[in-house]
Chains A and B, each alone.
Chain A
Amino acid sequence: MSEFTSFDHLFDAVLVVNLKREIVYFNHHASIFFKMPPRILKQKTSLTQICDSVDIDIEEWLSKALLSFDVLISPEIRLTIPHETDLDYYVVLKLIPVQTDKSANFAVVFHDLTVEKKLHLKYRDQMEELKKTHGQILQADKLTTLGELTATISHEINNPLTIAAGNSEIISDILDLPNIESRLSVLKNANQTVTESLERVNQIIKNMRDFLHQSEDEKEYCDLDALVDAAIEWAQPGAKKANVHIKKQSRVRSVALANRIKLEQVIINLVKNSIDAIAQHSKDVPAEVLINLSKSDLDHQTIIDVVDNGPGLADEIKKNLFKPFQSTKGSGTGTGLGLSICQKIIESHRGRLEHVDSQSGCHFRIRLPLIEVYSYARNDRALMGTKHKKKILVLDDEVQILNVLNTFIHNEGMVFIGSSTPLDSLNFIEKANIDLIITDFSMPEMNGSEFAAKARAMGYEGPILYMTSSKNIDQYNKDKSTLNITGVIVKPFNKDDVMKTLRLALAPGEAV
């Protein structure tokens, strides 16, 4: 059978069968593959004496295949070797006609895919396992958070509930009085406060629920000054009781793209932590908590510092500050909204919550990315693979305008980058490829013309739209040629105004 010896050079097992399906030759590798010394293999006359498959009837497949006298390939099958029960292979059988001088034969090649198949199965299982574990970790994390939330929910809603209860008492008292009419304004006021407080409770609970459900954070452009004021207002009753003065300092006007309630909660919580710490610590100087708003142009960050003049944190506490269930307070005072949750909230804003080591008192710092950076980064994922998406920079110092335009532009499938100050805008134009700029005209720092001139000087060549009331149209007419201003969105505007202007500016000459 020397005509078949060339099969000995293959690293696949090969059995040569004649038209009666009798084995007439096996190559060297067959002995290794079937774990049979040549001595034993020699005695085997048919394929089924050597191997078997649950997937196909090998003999049947062979007899069918032999009819065609053509190359034939089987599906991937699982192969068992009867005398080696712990062995199983995944193979593809290849049938190759081999014509010799004397006879017509077929070579059955066992193409071994066992390693590939087992790797595939193994990594698939491992991926499944990994996914499961990942889910469990997420769930465990949620449960930790849930525990924390349950512990803090009462703490959080305590203030609004106290206020509501107090005002409800006022209402009852007035209702007992003979001349209600004269107290009508107080009554209305109290009623309003009750409504607001309950709304607040509702929102806190809703937020916590959203947090657990990992729902997409609704973020809007918020004036941080106003946000801090609101936070202070909510913390005020507790502060008064503890005789702590809350001060605010803001050197910059800053806008954040944030979930207002959540960010407020973080600040309230930091302030409350401070109040509780100071309350337990008697001091000669008046107790105070300072909230300081600033901006780091270098890091493109807005910074909110919450600093108190209390005792500061014990070293022990500092170490595990941001771990779940960790409190800045001793046991018994309630955990407050855990710092780990606060950190998660800030991180969901692409920011950082840090403890700043200071000589006296306790100092927490919230770092938030400047809105230009954040709104751009937020669109990062959207930008990948959709490079054609137009990037629109909108400069306006009014957060409501930013929010409205954000909705319009975002819904049109474009990338909205909001900015509240001309300088931040200019910084950003330098770094990112902006397709179009919409600028407010009357801004405290500089007007639209000055801004446009600076943008042009920096080399920005794309369209610029002014957004202003009709009183500034003259200025536009002047700037049209000198600064190449494309158009004006006239305030007040509606969605169609904005979008039509925008589309025309982006693709001049095209029908709208």
Chain B
Amino acid sequence: MKRLTINKQILQDELSVELIGCIDEDSDFKELAGLGQETISFDFDKISMINSCGIREWIKFIDLLPARCNIVYKNCPQIIIEQINMVHGFFREGSVIESFYAPYYCDKCGKEAKVHLKSDTVKNRKAPKSDCPNCGNENIEFDAIEGQYFSFLGKI
């Protein structure tokens, strides 16, 4: 299994963190402690796996961040969304989920697509309309259970 790589940069008031690989029991976020800025953003785009132990490590870490800190989550893949829908505390109250991926399916060409969504485009746990990246079908279907998949948005 690929261990977690943490890339980070601090620019002005923001600490940008890119997480790559697996978030599991071996994940250690302490290198991020003490880097606190006004805003911390986490990019989950390259996370390939997350398990319940990893989530525990994550929550432990998030709890340590200063309360005044703005936390922003970007590009959460489906596996992250599925896991965090089951866990309380992954998102700290007041934090922002800027964007995430959601599964869609084109019944015209059979394409399965992970569509990048901005959180503010999801209303009432309903999947926003999307186009097929393959055939241009303008109304592809959401390929999970909406009420469940978007439940994390109610947690913030």
List residues of A whose CB falls within 8 A of some B CB. 8, 11, 28, 31-32, 37-39, 114-115, 119
**Known pairs A115-B51, A115-B53; A38 contacts B105 (CB<8 A):** no
In the complex, the chain B residue whose C-beta lies closest to that of A11 is B86
**Dominant SS among interface residues on chain A:** helix
Does B143 sit at the interface, judged by CB under 8 A? yes
Show 24 residue pairs from A and B whose CB-CB distance is below 8 angstroms, ordered by the A residue: A8-B148, A11-B86, A28-B145, A28-B148, A31-B144, A31-B145, A32-B82, A37-B103, A37-B105, A37-B112, A37-B143, A37-B144, A38-B143, A38-B144, A38-B145, A39-B105, A39-B141, A39-B143, A114-B51, A115-B51, A115-B52, A115-B53, A119-B25, A119-B53
Complex CA distance for A28 and B103, rounded to whole angstroms: 15
Which chain A residues border B25 with CB–CB below 8 Å?
119
In the complex, the chain A residue whose C-beta lies closest to that of B142 is A37
In B125-156, the 8 Å CB interface with A consists of 141, 143-145, 148
Which chain B residues border A32 with CB–CB below 8 Å?
82
Name, among A8, A28, A32, A38, the residue most crowded by chain B CB atoms within 10 Å (CB to CB). Answer: A32
Which chain A residues border B52 with CB–CB below 8 Å?
115
- Taking the nearest CB of chain A, how far is it from the CB of B127, in angstroms? 12
Q: Give 3 nearest A-B pairs by CB, closest first.
A: A37-B143, A28-B148, A32-B82
Complex CA distance for A37 and B142, rounded to whole angstroms: 9
In the complex, the chain B residue whose C-beta lies closest to that of A118 is B51
Complex CA distance for A8 and B86, rounded to whole angstroms: 12
- Taking the nearest CB of chain B, how far is it from the CB of A269, in angstroms? 47
In the complex, the chain A residue whose C-beta lies closest to that of B145 is A28
Which chain B residues border A31 with CB–CB below 8 Å?
144-145
Which chain B residues border A114 with CB–CB below 8 Å?
51
- Taking the nearest CB of chain B, how far is it from the CB of A29, in angstroms? 8
In the complex, the chain A residue whose C-beta lies closest to that of B51 is A115
Name, among B105, B112, B143, the residue most crowded by chain A CB atoms within 10 Å (CB to CB). Answer: B143
Complex CA distance for A477 and B145, rounded to whole angstroms: 96
Complex CA distance for A9 and B112, rounded to whole angstroms: 26
Complex CA distance for A37 and B86, rounded to whole angstroms: 18
Complex CA distance for A31 and B143, rounded to whole angstroms: 10
In the complex, the chain A residue whose C-beta lies closest to that of B103 is A37
Which chain B residues border A119 with CB–CB below 8 Å?
25, 53
Which chain A residues border B145 with CB–CB below 8 Å?
28, 31, 38
Complex CA distance for A38 and B51, rounded to whole angstroms: 22
In the complex, the chain A residue whose C-beta lies closest to that of B141 is A39
- Taking the nearest CB of chain A, how far is it from the CB of B45, in angstroms? 20
Name, among A8, A11, A31, the residue most crowded by chain B CB atoms within 10 Å (CB to CB). Answer: A31
Complex CA distance for A507 and B124, rounded to whole angstroms: 82
Which chain A residues border B144 with CB–CB below 8 Å?
31, 37-38
- Taking the nearest CB of chain A, how far is it from the CB of B52, in angstroms? 5
In B20-59, the 8 Å CB interface with A consists of 25, 51-53
- Taking the nearest CB of chain A, how far is it from the CB of B23, in angstroms? 12
Complex CA distance for A28 and B125, rounded to whole angstroms: 15
- Taking the nearest CB of chain B, how far is it from the CB of A466, in angstroms? 64
- Taking the nearest CB of chain B, how far is it from the CB of A307, in angstroms? 50
- Taking the nearest CB of chain A, how far is it from the CB of B2, in angstroms? 12
In the complex, the chain B residue whose C-beta lies closest to that of A8 is B148
Complex CA distance for A11 and B148, rounded to whole angstroms: 11
Which chain B residues border A11 with CB–CB below 8 Å?
86
Which chain A residues border B82 with CB–CB below 8 Å?
32
- Taking the nearest CB of chain B, how far is it from the CB of A113, in angstroms? 11
Which chain A residues border B103 with CB–CB below 8 Å?
37
- Taking the nearest CB of chain A, how far is it from the CB of B47, in angstroms? 16
- Taking the nearest CB of chain B, how far is it from the CB of A167, in angstroms? 68
Which chain A residues border B53 with CB–CB below 8 Å?
115, 119
Which chain A residues border B86 with CB–CB below 8 Å?
11
- Taking the nearest CB of chain A, how far is it from the CB of B56, in angstroms? 10
Which chain A residues border B105 with CB–CB below 8 Å?
37, 39
- Taking the nearest CB of chain A, how far is it from the CB of B79, in angstroms? 9
Complex CA distance for A39 and B112, rounded to whole angstroms: 11
Complex CA distance for A38 and B142, rounded to whole angstroms: 10
Name, among A8, A11, A37, A114, the residue most crowded by chain B CB atoms within 10 Å (CB to CB). Answer: A37
- Taking the nearest CB of chain B, how far is it from the CB of A30, in angstroms? 10
- Taking the nearest CB of chain A, how far is it from the CB of B32, in angstroms? 24
Complex CA distance for A11 and B83, rounded to whole angstroms: 10
- Taking the nearest CB of chain B, how far is it from the CB of A62, in angstroms? 25
In the complex, the chain B residue whose C-beta lies closest to that of A38 is B145
- Since A32-B82, A114-B51, A119-B25 are in contact, a sample of 9 more A-B pairs with Cβ atoms closer than 8 Å, ordered by chain A residue number, is A8-B148, A11-B86, A28-B145, A37-B143, A37-B144, A38-B144, A39-B143, A115-B51, A115-B53
